[in-house]
């Protein structure tokens, strides 16, 4: 799958980087050295914007159209720098790559003492997509470390950690096995900051003696020999780029015309047609500071009443007693009077009855 043609003008450094000429920084240096020309006239600034590479020459040779993006796997050995040249004369990855390999750029970097999978590509745009943290491409490592650490401590790395003012994102770490005082730990992350794995493990009190990168995205090391190089199939590269573009976040923007059509909030009934009042704590220039009120003018503080006083104050006042209503008839008029009856007989002790008088 070849890189898509730019639909809008782009900086010449980006176009040449996608064409596989050099990195953007190296192209800027080549422009300063007047090695890049447009229609025979050397360019003077890297801010030149073009829509295509037609008429662009590098060292007098015309730049060819960008070829389909190619991706290679390289098992980087330990003790080799991930750079094109070293001022101190140390060995670099380009000293170990085959001579018949096209000009390639490393995807990310591995430390001097870190080994494992290193992706190489001929397309600068693909390189940038693979390196950006927002792409979410995972990297997996296997670390051999000396010391003691628990699985619970490793699981805490999922929340991220801050070391010396640098914030590291979520890391999925698992303890594989222990071999004496050493242990093997597998880590998966998406940021890939400088010496991130080593610094995080050292923060946990471990000493890393060996670090191997085993995976970058869907591409695995898979037993590739140390120093060996092979090319990933074009079909796999195309499928990976499609999946990565599908996972790219979509930004929702409001058109300018639609934003202009938005009507302001209607005024409320009785609201004056004046700008809203804003509270300002700043005193105008020349205005004297207000004097405090005298003690007699100050508003007295409200004192909380006692429970008994509050209860008496809150309880309603009793109603006045009403005078009794006068009786319309004399008392006792409804009572029945006793009627005279026959005299009662009394029994005498002798057994004879006599009339009671």
Kind of pairing, strands 105-106 and 114-121? antiparallel
Mark residue 116 as left, alpha or beta (left: phi above 0; alpha: psi -120 to 50; beta: remaining).
Answer: left
Q: Which of 32, 59, 100, 111 is catalytic?
A: 111
CA dist 238 and 243 (Å) reads 9
156: left (phi over 0), alpha (psi -120 to 50) or beta: alpha
Q: What is the 3-state secondary structure (H, E, C) of the chain?
A: CCCCCCCCCEEHHHHHHHCCCCCHHHHHHHHHCCCEEECCEECCCCCCEECCCCCEEECCEECCCCCCCCEEEEEECCCCECCCCCCCCCCEHHHCCCCCCCCCEECCCCCCCEEEEEEEECCHHHHHHHHCHHHCCCEEEEEEEECCCCHHHHHHHHHCEEECCEEECCCEEEEEEEECCEEEEEEEECCCCCCHHHHHHHHCCCEEEEEEEEEECCEECCCCCCCCEEECCHHHHHHHHHHHHHCCCCCCCCCHHHHHCCCCCCCCCCCCCCCCCCCCCCCCCCCCCCCCCCCCCCCCCCCCCCHHHHHHHHCCCCCCCCCCCCCCCCCCCCCCCCCCCCCCEEECCCCCEEECC
59 is catalytic: no
Catalytic residue IDs: 111
């Amino acid at each position: 799958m070849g890189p898509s043609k730019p639909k809008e003008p782009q900086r010449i450094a980006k176009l040449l980087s996608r064409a596989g000429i050099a990195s953007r920084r190296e192209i800027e240096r080549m422009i300063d050295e007047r090695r890049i020309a447009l229609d025979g006239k050397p360019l003077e600034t890297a801010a030149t914007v073009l829509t295509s590479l037609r008429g662009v020459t590098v060292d007098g040779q015309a730049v060819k159209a960008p070829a389909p993006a190619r991706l290679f796997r390289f098992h980087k050995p330990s003790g080799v720098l991930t750079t094109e040249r070293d001022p101190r004369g140390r060995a670099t990855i380009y000293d170990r790559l085959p001579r018949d390999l096209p000009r390639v750029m490393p995807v990310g970097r591995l430390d001097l003492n870190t080994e494992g999978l290193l992706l190489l590509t001929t397309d600068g745009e693909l390189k940038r997509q693979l390196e950006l943290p927002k792409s979410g491409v995972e990297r997996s490592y296997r670390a051999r470390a000396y010391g003691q650490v628990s699985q619970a401590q490793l699981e805490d790395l999922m929340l991220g950690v801050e070391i010396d003012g640098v914030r590291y994102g979520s890391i999925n770490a698992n303890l594989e096995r222990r071999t004496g005082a050493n242990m093997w730990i597998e880590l998966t992350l998406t940021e890939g900051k400088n010496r991130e794995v080593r610094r995080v493990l050292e923060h946990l009190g471990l000493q890393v003696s060996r670090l191997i990168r085993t995976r970058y995205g869907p591409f695995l090391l898979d037993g590739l020999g140390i120093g060996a190089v092979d090319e990933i199939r074009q079909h796999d590269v195309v499928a990976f780029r499609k999946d990565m573009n599908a996972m790219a976040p979509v930004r929702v923007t409001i058109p300018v015309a639609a934003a202009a059509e938005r009507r302001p909030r209607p005024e409320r009934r009785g609201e004056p047609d004046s700008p809203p009042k804003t509270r300002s704590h700043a005193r105008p220039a020349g205005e004297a500071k207000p004097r405090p009120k005298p003690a007699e003018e100050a508003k007295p503080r409200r004192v909380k009443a006692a429970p008994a006083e509050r209860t008496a104050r809150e309880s309603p006042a009793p109603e006045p007693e009403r005078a009794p209503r006068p009786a319309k008839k004399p008392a006792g008029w409804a009572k029945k009077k006793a009627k005279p009856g026959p005299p009662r007989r009394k029994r005498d002790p002798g057994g004879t009855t006599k009339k009671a008088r």
